[in-house]
Structure 1
Amino acid sequence: MKREKDRKSIILVGMMATGKSTVGVLLAEALGYELVDLDRVIVEREGKSIAELFAEGGESHFRRIEKEALERELQGEGKIISTGGGAVLAPGNAELMLEGGYVVALTATEEAILERVSGDKNRPLLAGNAQERVRTIMEERRDAYRFAHCTVDTTALDAAEVSRHILMHYRG
């Protein structure tokens, strides 16, 4: 396995509200890597919010756009790529990520996720009963993140602790 000196990118995957964006910032600062928030890249490129893209063409439409953005961002090295929670769902994305870098899955309990997303209107997959939707999404994706090189449960950790844990594994 390549080490940090090889500048292999780190790809963060996991359910919404597990800390990918926050931890991504800390990892980028610690390593001097470029921070890439995949959802932000998509919004800037498409000129529409994630919610608008979902409304426009449904989840499959968004996943196609997301896969294209992921392929582009996996080019090069020395990046921290924070993906959307469902980025692992499109066929072939897990393989792309494994080829393109060091994949870290962030997890959290259903209760922690609900607490973190309460009041957030920018999560189209949570429309309606948030608790029911989180439970359903977690069940649907239970095995979706298992391909990662490293998994960190963020439930009881702050972002700095998660970042340190990832760096320890990444650096070997």
Structure 2
Amino acid sequence: MKGRNVVLIGPMGTGKSTVGKALAEKLGWTFIDTDAVIEKKAGATIPAIFAQQGEPAFRSLESETIVEALQGEQRIVSTGGGAVLAEQNRDAMKAGGFVVALRATEETIISRVGNDDNRPLLQGNAAERVRRLLEERKHAYDFADAMVDTTDKPVEDIVEWIASRLPGGEA
């Protein structure tokens, strides 16, 4: 069934973890942050995985984690911003749940993540890196079942919006 899980996708800093936790609480579902699961599995932070094993090793762990997270039901699964780059991940997301893309303005994302040292893809000039990633990935989230802009919106409003669009009346 399409609506057995909700998968949150979108660029870093759009609120996937924050919205995911609040949505899980509202629905009484389980929240899974794939980045947190990857860190637990690897026994290392994401920056350490990138530094020690490289991005391909991280992406492999990410794909495995997404498939595992979507095996259950009534789960809100928050994915990393780059998870959508692999076709196998997009296929797993579409098959495993209702996919919601979160968006935000470039300025909002920069203000939210610009000083976050735990984001390996932002090392250096964070604002420039955010702009480049947004440009490179501007159509990567288009496969979602629904899209919501999180810029200047209260988390509660975003959660209500998503819950009202779930197939099968889960909300």
Aligned 8 A contact 2:9 2:79 in 1: yes
Deviation at 1:57, TM superposition (A): 2.3
Classify 1:87/1:2 alpha carbon distance in 2 versus 1 (closer, same or farther; 3 Å). Answer: closer
Partner of 2:109: 113
**Does the alignment pair 1:10 with 2:17?**
no
Report the AA paired with residue 107 of structure 1.
Answer: R
For 1:2 and 1:113, the matched residues in 2 are separated by 30
For 1:2 and 1:98, the matched residues in 2 are separated by 8
Where do 1:28-107 residues align within 5 Å?
Answer: 28-107=24-103
For 1:98 and 1:39, the matched residues in 2 are separated by 19
SS class of match (1:48): coil
Aligned 8 A contact 2:34 2:77 in 1: yes
For 1:101 and 1:164, the matched residues in 2 are separated by 18
For 1:22 and 1:11, the matched residues in 2 are separated by 13
Instruction: Name which of structure 1's ranges 53-62 and 41-50 shifts more when overlaid on structure 2.
Output: 53-62
For 2:53 and 2:37, the matched residues in 1 are separated by 18
Deviation at 1:120, TM superposition (A): 1.2
Report the AA paired with residue 39 of structure 2.
Answer: V
Runs of 4+ in 1 over 3 A off after TM superposition: none
For 1:2 and 1:107, the matched residues in 2 are separated by 22
Please give the TM-score of this superposition, normalised by the length of structure 1: 0.94
Partner of 1:140: 136
Partner of 2:20: 24
Output one character per residue of 1:108-156: Cα deviation in whole Å (capped at 9) or x when no partner: 1110000111321111110001111001100111010000000001112
Please give the TM-score of this superposition, normalised by the length of structure 2: 0.94
For 1:120 and 1:133, the matched residues in 2 are separated by 13
For 2:155 and 2:52, the matched residues in 1 are separated by 34
For 1:103 and 1:80, the matched residues in 2 are separated by 10
For 1:131 and 1:145, the matched residues in 2 are separated by 21
- Provide the aligned C-alpha RMSD in A: 1.3
Report the AA paired with residue 139 of structure 2.
Answer: D
Number of matched residues?
168
Report the AA paired with residue 83 of structure 2.
Answer: A
Deviation at 1:2, TM superposition (A): 5.1
Deviation at 1:58, TM superposition (A): 1.9
For 2:41 and 2:77, the matched residues in 1 are separated by 16
For 1:168 and 1:74, the matched residues in 2 are separated by 21
SS class of match (2:121): helix
Where do 1:114-133 residues align within 5 Å?
Answer: 114-133=110-129
